[in-house]
Amino acid sequence: MSSSRGSKKEVLKTLTAELYAIKELSKALPAIEKAASLIAKSKGKLLTTGVGKSSFIAMKVAATLTSLGQSAVFIHPVDALHGDLGIVRDGDTIVAFSYSGESEEIIKVGQYLRKAFKVSVIAVTGKSLSRLGKLADVVISIAVKEEGSPLGLAPMASTTAMLVAGDMLASSLTSREVFAKEHFAKFHPGGALGLELAKVESLMKTGRSMPIVRESSSTKAVLKNMSLKKLGITAAVNREGRLLGVVTDGDIRRWLLAGGKPSLDTAKEIMTKNPKTIQAGRSLKEALRVMEVHHITALFVVDKTNRPKGVIHIHDIIGKNVV
């Protein structure tokens, strides 16, 4: 029983320590804004670095920045000293993560970069007067009372604060006016996120690739069109080009079993009227949901006047995304 109470106490200790470190970051806002301004004015790329647990924070921050359209690359300080500095160019900005600000690998890299290149250095550290702090053009200070880990040995509150500081920096570099959802979708084409952000128009088949016939077309013409376009479906439109129905492989089978006459019947006799459709600006996620709910494999994309502008097949979506 006492062991359980002790465990709960340690958990709350960790939470309290990390919440304190995050709350104290409000004092770092001026430094974060200054760092963002420095990065925005630079002509080069953004590099992040760190050693130990801080290296994972630096990796995550680089990944976040990259997903938001900022050219960011993580370099490990040890690897950097053995050849990876070939990626560095004049005009680059280095964001170095080190709570103590005294990690030898980080200091060596920082000192060398200052001598060999014209770069800017941003330090994310708990010790602004450390050697790293003195090397930096901007210091983002982390305030930690205690780590919150058992015996205070493992970095917890400090790495949490560095991670949040990195996210704050990423947010300050991302302008809503310049970086819209469309840009984010461009960098995230796969998975559920890609489905939600990408639009139907990005994958739909248009023009000559779109299967379409007149309602008055013969069944032979319908079959030829479906065979040529290889989607198992074709649209049937009227003289004005408005969608009246669709003919699918299933419609053909049912028509034949019902005694259909290939020499007499037309698309109008075979088609399924009032088919499910979607507009070009809708998301791939919504298109997939419509297909799943109605047990269909393709959707015609129509404009506001119900004229087909394209067609999207379930295989196009699955082939493009991990669903």
Provide the 8-state DSSP code for 210. S
Distance, in Å, from the CA atom of 99 to the CA atom of 120, rounded to the nearest integer, reads: 19
Q: How are the residues of the chain apportioned to helix, strand and coil, as percentages rounded to the nearest 5?
A: 50, 20, 30
Please tell me the predicted confidence (pLDDT) of residue 193. 53
Whether the CB-CB separation of 309 and 303 falls below 8 Å is answered with yes
State the Cα–Cα distance between residues 4 and 174, nearest whole angstrom.
45
Q: What is the dihedral of CA 265, 267, 270, 271, to 10 degrees?
A: -160
Strand 277-278 to strand 272-273: parallel, antiparallel, or no bridges (unpaired)? Answer: unpaired
pLDDT of the residue at 281:
87
pLDDT tens digits, 210-230: 999 999 999 889 999 999 999
SS3 at position 301: strand
pLDDT tens digit sequence for 151-210: 777 899 999 999 999 999 998 887 544 444 554 455 545 555 555 667 888 889 999 999
Q: Which fold has domain 197-320?
A: CBS-domain (3.10.580)
The pLDDT of residue 197: 65
Residues of the chain short of pLDDT 70, as ranges, are: 1-6, 175-197, 319-323
Q: In angstroms, rounded to a whole number, what is the distance separating the alpha carbons of residues 68 and 99?
A: 26
Domain boundaries, the chain: 2-179, 197-320
The domain 2-179 having CATH identifier 3.40.50.10490: the answer here is yes
Q: For residue 185, how many C-alpha atoms fall within 13 Å in the half-sphere facing its CB?
A: 16
